[in-house]
Structure 1
Amino acid sequence: MTADSLRSVTVERTGPSMFTATNSRGDTITFGTGSGGGFTPVELFLAAIGGCSAADVDVATSRHAEPTEFSVAVQGHKAEDAGGNHMTDLEVAFTVRFPGGEGGERAAAILPRAVKTSHDKLCTVSRTVEAGTPVTVRVIDTD
Structure 2
Amino acid sequence: MATWKLEENIQRDLEKAHENIELYGGHLLKAPNKYEIKTGVIIAARFADKIRRTAFAVFGGVLPREEIVRATSELNKRIYETLISMGIGKLDIIRITVEAAVEGGKLVFGEPKIEWFIPHSEVQKKVEECEKKMSEIRKKIETLLSEIP
Please state which band the TM-score falls in when normalised by the shorter chain: 0.3 to 0.5
Q: Which has the higher contact order (CA 8 A, sep 6+)?
A: 2
Q: TM-score, normalised by structure 1?
A: 0.34
Q: Which has the larger radius of gyration?
A: 2
Structure having the higher helix fraction is 2
Structure having the higher strand fraction is 1
Q: TM-score, normalised by structure 2?
A: 0.33
